[in-house]
Amino acid sequence: MMSIQSTLDAAARAAFESLGFPAAIAGVQESDRGDAPYQCNGALAAAGIAKKRGEKVNPREIAVKAVAILETDPAFGKLEIAGPGFINISPAADLLTTRANDLLANPASGLTADKTKTIVVDYGGANVAKPMHVGHLRSAVIGEAIKRILRAQGHTVIGDVHMGDWGLQMGHLISELTLEQPDLPYFDEDFTGDYPAEPPVTMDDLARLYPQASNKAKSDADRMEESRVATAQLQAGRRGYRALLDHFIDVSVAALKIGYGNLGVEFDLWKGEACVDPLIPDMIGGLKAKGITEEDDGALIIRVAEGEKDKTPPVMLLASSGAVLYHTTDLATLVDRKAEINPDLIVYVVDQRQALHFEQVFRAAVKAEWYARDQLFHAGFGTMNGKDGKPFKTRAGGVLRLEDLLEVMNTAARERLEASGIGADFDPAEREEIARKIGLAALKFADLQNQRMTNYIFDPERFTAFEGKTGPYLLYAVVRIKSILRKAEDMGVSSGEIQVEAEAETDLVLALDAYAKAIALSAEKYAPHMLCEHIYRVAQSFSRFYAGCPILADDVPAEVKASRLGLAKATLAQLEHGLDLLGIEAPDRM
C-alpha cells in the first residue's frame, strides 16, 4: 500500500486543487515542529497566488477551507491550523494500524517505482593482475548498495564489474613472463598448435610479476618499451598473447570472485575492457562515417567541447601509435551494452577523480547518437583518507590490499567484543563469525553513511563503536529484536494484529512508514546515505518504543503483547531488509 505520508500528501494536494490552486504547493511534509508529525504549508503559497490574481484572502481563510475538505477524509486524524495558516496534520489511528499491519505482512510494501527501467550499474572496476586496493573498495560497497536499492524499486538491474584488462599492465605482465619463462609456447610466433588449457601462472605470480615489471620500467626506458610493444601486439591480436591474456583474466576473475565475495559483493556480468575490443574497428568506422572524428597529430579524436569557452579536452580514440585508450574501451562498452542489453540508464560508480573521463565519454556517446545524455550518469565518490587527510596508505606508504583492510576491521571488531564481554560464552567459531560480520558492517556503514562525494577518514575504532551512528549499533538493534522474539517463543507468546496506541508506537510506525520515501530518494540521487539515515532513525525509534512499551512483562494484557510483538517483528523485517540493501548482514545473536 501507499505510505501514510503519500496518502495524506495526495489528499492535501487534491484539496488545494479543488480550491483552485496548483497541487504542487500543497505537499505534506514531515513537521520540523513537535506539534504534529506532518504539516502542509499550502495555504501560505495559495494566498500569495490569490493576491497576484487580485483577490484579497488571507492564508488562514484558505487553510480553514482546506481543513474542512480534509476533515471528511478518514485518513486524517487531528487537523490544526497554526500561526498564519500552517496546517498541522496527524494521521487517523486506523490508517496507522492498517499501515503497520501492511508492513508486518510485507516489509517491501510501497517500494516499487512508478516506471521501472533496465539499468546497468558499472562498479567494482578492479584491474586484472593488480591486487584490489582500498580505491576499489568504495566502488564495490557503494555500487552494490545502489544496485540493490534500484532493484528494490522493481527495476531490472545488471551489475557489471567492468574489469581493467586491456591496458599497459597486460603488456607488463606478458613481457615480464617472457623474461621469466621464455620457452612457453605463447611466445613462439611459429607455434600453431593448441595452447595448454592450464594457466602458466597463479594469482600470486601475477601479483608478483606486475610490480616487478612496472618497477623496472620506471627506471629503464628500454624495459618500458618492451611492455609498450607487448601491449600493442596484444591489441593487434597476436595469438599467443591473446591466449595468455585469457589465462590472466581467468586467474584474476577467480581471485576477484573470492575478494568481492568476502565483501558480500556480487556481479551479474564479469565483463571487462578486453571483451569489447573486437567491436572497436567497426565502432571507429561508424564514428568516422558519421563525420565526428578528426585526425590530430596522428591521433584520432572526437572534439567534445561545447562552445568557445569550454576547455573540455577531446576524446582520444586512437593514440598516434595506434593503441586504443581508456576512452576507446569505455565507448566500445557503450556499444556492447546497447546491443546486448539496450539499457534505459547506465550508472557508473567510479572515483570522482575520473569525472572528466566520463564527461568526455558521455558527450561522445551523445554526439554519436547512441544514447541521450540523461541515460548516462557518473555517480562519483570521494576518497577514503588516512588520519593525515590524504588517501589511505599503509604505514610503508603503499596501497593497502583489500584483504588486509578487512583484517584490520576484524581485529578492531574482535577487540570490541572482548572489551564488552559480548559472546564470551560462545564457541570460538561463532565468535569469529560475529567479529567478521561486525567488522564488515562497521566498514560498510561508515562508508555508506557519508554523502557519496565526501572524503572520510578511516578510523576502525570509531567505526566499530556500539554507540552512535555505526554499523555495530544497527546490528545490535537487530540482534536485540531477534532475542526478544526468541524469548517470546520460549514463553509461548505469538505476535498478532498490531494496534497502534501509545505515542512511542505511533512514532515507530511513522518511522517505518518513511521507508519507501527513503528508498525513493536514495534511488533518485544514487545516495545510499539517505537509506542509512532512515535505518538509524528506525533503530532509535525502536529503542524508545521498547523503553516505553514493555512487550513481555507479566502485567501486559495478552492482545497488547501480541500487538507489540507484531510491531517488533515488522521493525526487524524492515531493518533486515534495509541493511540487506546496504549489503550488511547481522548475526543471530551477540
Is the Cβ of residue 39 or residue 127 nearer to ligand ARG in the bound state?
A: 127
Tell me if 360 contacts ligand ARG by CB under 6 A: no
Residue 452 CB, shortest distance to ligand ARG, in Å, is: 15
* Count of residues in contact with ligand ARG, rule CB under 6 A: 8
Tell me if 200 contacts ligand ARG by CB under 6 A: no
Tell me if 144 contacts ligand ARG by CB under 6 A: no
199 φ/ψ angles, rounded to the nearest 5 degrees: -65, 145
Residue 440 CB, shortest distance to ligand ARG, in Å, is: 22
Residue 159 CB, shortest distance to ligand ARG, in Å, is: 12
- DSSP-assigned states of every residue in 256-287: HHHHHHHHT---SB--BSGGGGGGHHHHHHHH
> Distance (Å, rounded) from C-alpha 9 to C-alpha 87?
12
Sheet holding 294-296, edge to edge: 294-296, 299-302, 315-318
Tell me if 162 contacts ligand ARG by CB under 6 A: yes
Among residues 346, 348, 368, 344, the alpha carbon closest in space to that of 356 is found at 348
> Distance (Å, rounded) from C-alpha 168 to C-alpha 231?
6
Residue 330 CB, shortest distance to ligand ARG, in Å, is: 5
Tell me if 159 contacts ligand ARG by CB under 6 A: no
Q: Give just the sign of the alpha carbon dihedral 337, 338, 344, 345.
A: positive
Cβ neighbours, 10 Å, residue 134:
21
Residue 75 CB, shortest distance to ligand ARG, in Å, is: 46
> Distance (Å, rounded) from C-alpha 324 to C-alpha 183?
29
- The piece of 122-130, 195-203, 401-409, 525-533 that touches ligand ARG (CB under 6 A) is 122-130
Query: By the 8 A CB rule, do 589 and 482 touch?
Result: yes
Query: By the 8 A CB rule, do 230 and 407 touch?
Result: no
Is the Cβ of residue 37 or residue 125 nearer to ligand ARG in the bound state?
A: 125
Q: Give just the sign of the alpha carbon dihedral 199, 203, 208, 211.
A: positive
Tell me if 125 contacts ligand ARG by CB under 6 A: yes
Tell me if 16 contacts ligand ARG by CB under 6 A: no
Q: State which amino acid sits at residue 562.
A: A
Tell me if 122 contacts ligand ARG by CB under 6 A: yes
Cell of 301: 579524436
Tell me if 249 contacts ligand ARG by CB under 6 A: no
Cα dist. 568→247, 400, 462 in Å?
52, 41, 28
Cβ neighbours, 10 Å, residue 307:
6
* CB-based burial, 8-19: b 16+ in 10 Å, e otherwise: bbbbbbebbeeb
Tell me if 143 contacts ligand ARG by CB under 6 A: no
Tell me if 102 contacts ligand ARG by CB under 6 A: no
Query: By the 8 A CB rule, do 565 and 488 touch?
Result: yes
Residue 454 CB, shortest distance to ligand ARG, in Å, is: 20
Interface residue with ligand ARG among 330, 336, 505, 513 (CB under 6 A) is 330
Interface residue with ligand ARG among 27, 107, 164, 583 (CB under 6 A) is 164
Tell me if 244 contacts ligand ARG by CB under 6 A: no
Tell me if 169 contacts ligand ARG by CB under 6 A: no
Is the Cβ of residue 249 or residue 350 nearer to ligand ARG in the bound state?
A: 350
Residue 350 CB, shortest distance to ligand ARG, in Å, is: 4
| H runs (alpha helix) in 53-186 | 59-70, 93-105, 134-152, 168-180
Tell me if 127 contacts ligand ARG by CB under 6 A: yes
Residue 125 CB, shortest distance to ligand ARG, in Å, is: 3
Is the Cβ of residue 37 or residue 159 nearer to ligand ARG in the bound state?
A: 159
Q: Which residues in this chain contact ligand ARG in the complex, by CB under 6 A?
A: 122, 125, 127, 162, 164, 330, 348, 350
